Amino acid sequence: MRRLRSRGTRVHYAGGVAQPGIEEQAELVALLRERPRGLNWLQLAGVVLENGSVAAARAQLVAESLFGDDDHATLLDEARGEVRAWHAAGLEFLSIVDECYPARVRDIHEAPPFLFARGRLLADDKAVSVVGSREASERGLQMARSIADALVSMEFTVVAGLAAGIDTAAHETTIASGGRTVAVIGTGINRCYPAGNRGLQERIAETGLVLSQFWPDAPPQQHNFPMRNAVMSGYGITTIVVEAGERSGARIQARMAVHHGRPVILTDLVVNSTQWGRELVGHPDVYVASSIAEVRAVVEELAERPSRLEAVLSQITV
């Protein structure tokens, strides 16, 4: 039996390797419920991605599983019913090997095994994450609005987490400016947190995209939100931290983005008011911006990187 690689060293397939139907999706749900060899979801996602399909992944793992065929058949039959019900309710269910699964998310260590979606999925969505405190100051809220408006004018998708404060300001401004916004939420896709943002979540689903990595009716739980932050970090080409406290979830996302090798833009408000912000200054690809013009300049530079890399590669001859 082929030795299982750790998640940190697994091979990534950024372009997707399948277009799963209901049966493949049901196989994934059953696998996650079965958990052969006691592997957690992230480990199972890694095995599925390495093998290119759920069936191949399970074939690799099942020899050492305590589950028998009868147990698997029962789980699979239940999973088929769930998947059909999700489709009937208008939910889109994306496995990690689905070609519609966001490619940048697939390439992070914490890539979830599936995503639920409402709204319009875009291949290679040109996006920037905008995050910050739930209890934002008026200056912070105004900065979030100005940053979102600038990103819309630059034709970027604005990604945020539907939280109160900075996230809400970024989502609302993007919609008002006619732009595209993506909400990566910390509950199941049938739930809303905070409850007061239910109308905003519906508008985002109608005009942009709502993503969740949890079962559809999962309630908000504290450990959900750092997981959500990892997906947000993966989805965007950079994370902009507008305003945050010492223990803010935005701090978690900023550190995750550094870990992912993704650029981070901190406003001077963050650097001046937090120890963790000052500690990040000087790390590779961590920028400090003191104005909207500086934010725009950094985002423009980061957006040009892929084309510059392609130009360099095109000059290389074998």
Helix-helix angle 22-34:69-88, to 10 degrees: 130
Q: Are residues 87 and 166 in the same domain?
A: no
- Identify whether 255 is part of a domain: yes
Cβ-based burial of 134 (10 A; exposed 0-12, middle 13-18, buried ≥19): middle
Q: What is the pLDDT of residues 265-290, one digit of tens each?
A: 999 999 999 999 999 999 999 999 99
Q: What DSSP assignment string belongs to 61-119?
A: HGGG-S--HHHHHHHHHHHHHHHHHHHHTT-EEEETTBTTS-HHHHTSTT--SEEEEEE
Looking at residue 182, the DSSP 8-state letter turns out to be E
Q: Are residues 96 and 175 in the same domain?
A: no
Residues 156 and 72 in one domain: no
Mean pLDDT across the stretch 167-179?
Answer: 98
> For residues 10, 12, 13 and 17, what is the CA-based torsion angle, rounded to 10 degrees?
40
Banded model confidence at residue 62, pLDDT cuts 50, 70, 90: confident
Shared-domain flag, residues 161 and 62: no
Which pLDDT score is estimated for 317?
A: 44
Q: How far apart are CA 178 and CA 149, in angstroms?
A: 9
In a shared domain, residues 90 and 141? no
- Interval 108-118: pLDDT, tens: 999 999 999 99
pLDDT of 63: 66
Q: If DSSP codes are grouped into helix, strand and coil, which group holds residue 174?
A: helix
Please report, rounded to a whole number, the percentage of residues in the chain having pLDDT higher than 70.
Answer: 87
Does 4 fall in a domain?
no
Shared domain check, 166 and 37: no
Q: pTM, whole model, 2 decimals? A: 0.88
Do residue 253 and residue 156 come from a single domain? yes
pLDDT at 185 over 50: yes
CA–CA separation, 255 vs 135, rounded Å?
20
Residue 310 scores a pLDDT above 90: no
Q: Percent of the chain having pLDDT more than 90?
A: 82
State whether 277 and 158 are in the same domain. yes
Q: For 8-12, 38-42, 89-93, 246-250, which range has the lowest pLDDT when averaged over its residues? A: 8-12
- Do residues 140 and 36 both lie within one domain? no
Integer Cα distance of 186 and 227 in angstroms = 8
Q: Which residue has the tokens 């095995």?
A: 47
CATH at 209: 3.40.50.450
Tell me: do 139 and 196 sit in the same domain: yes
Q: For 221-237, give the DSSP string.
A: -TTHHHHHHHHHHHHSS
Alpha-carbon span 263 to 299, nearest angstrom: 10
137 and 39, same structural domain?
A: no
Is residue 47 located within the same domain as residue 171? no
pLDDT of residue 54: 93
Amino acid identity, position 293 = A
pLDDT of residue 280: 96
Q: Which structural domain, as residue segments, surrounds residue 33?
A: 17-101
